[in-house]
Amino acid sequence: DTAVSQTPKYLVTQMGNDKSIKCEQNLGHDTMYWYKQDSKKFLKIMFSYNNKELIINETVPNRFSPKSPDKAHLNLHINSLELGDSAVYFCASSLLSGGLTNFGPGTRLTVL
Amino acid sequence: ELKVEQNPLFLSMQEGKNYTIYCNYSTTSDRLYWYRQDPGKSLESLFVLLSNGAVKQEGRLMASLDTKARLSTLHITAAVHDLSATYFCAVDTGNQFYFGTGTSLTVIP
């Protein structure tokens, strides 16, 4: 069984569209995260979320919003997509905030 | 702004040799992470270091943390080809979280 899963694996879309990436973890972890890795392989944390607190990296545009329907899911919604949003987005989870994290396989987003 | 610098950026080493990757950061930290990423793959958590002097080891990899020097090291012992990957450190100050630029390691038979 996949511990952290993401869908879709690839997402190609036009500028200006709105899209979502889904993430689910079956580990019973309390904290989930979204990370972005750009074409130069630079990594950035975007959000961390547990059932009590959402922490947002202040550099993330407000076009990006995490939505958590329950403890096992943290979806990423992106409005008005821009070319610079093209990247690989990784979802992850950890048992406790700040612990070892399990990463999803990544979603490669291409904005045309 | 927190700065996290890794060196070297690229490392090519022969099997059986030892080497160290360095991670320097610019402010006090709560914890320091090391990750591994194989080409085209996701990330794998290796270590979380919480306190000054912390040392953790897993197989041929050993990570240490010196919070006074604001330095973490990832030491590779007797490298094998399977260790070829990119290694990232990341620093969590409690209200900032930044990754290093990564060290691309190639182990040559």
Beta bridge partners of A78: A19, A64
- Residue A43 pLDDT: 96
- ∠ Cα A53 A37 A96 (to 5°): 30
3 state SS of A18: coil
CA A80 to each of CA A56, A65, A107, B65, B98: distance values in angstroms, whole numbers, following the listed order: 19, 12, 18, 42, 26
Mean pLDDT across B20-43: 94
Report the C-alpha gap between B24 and B71 in whole angstroms.
Answer: 5
Tokens in use for B76?
């590779």
Q: What is the CA radius of gyration of chain B?
A: 13
The sign of the torsion formed by the CA atoms of A4, A10, A13, A16 equals: positive
Place of tokens 């821009």: A82
Contact residues, B window 1-40, toward A, CB-based 8 Å cutoff: 30-31
Q: What is the 3-state secondary structure (H, E, C) of B59-100?
A: CCEEEEEECCCCEEEEEECCCCHHHCEEEEEEEECCCCEEEC
Report the C-alpha gap between B74 and B55 in whole angstroms.
Answer: 10
Q: Measure CB to CB from residue B43 to each of A42, A48, A103 and give the nearest one.
A: A103
- The backbone torsions φ and ψ at residue B50, rounded to the nearest 5 degrees and listed phi first, read -105, -25
- Residue A53 pLDDT: 84
Instruction: Give the Cβ contact number of residue B20 at 10 Å.
Output: 14
Residue A48: closest C-alpha in chain B: B97
Place of tokens 């160290």: B20
The sign of the torsion formed by the CA atoms of A7, A10, B42, A47 equals: negative
Flag if B42 and A103 touch (Cβ within 8 Å): yes
Which one has a higher pLDDT value, B30 or A94? Answer: A94
Q: Is B49 on the interface with A (CB under 8 A)?
A: no
Residue B39: closest C-alpha in chain A: A41
- Residue A67 pLDDT: 92
Q: Is the pLDDT of residue B60 over 70?
A: yes
pLDDT of chain A, 112 residues: tens digit per residue: 679 999 999 999 999 999 999 999 999 999 999 999 999 999 999 999 987 788 878 889 999 999 999 999 999 999 999 999 999 999 999 987 778 899 999 999 999 9
- Residue A1 pLDDT: 65
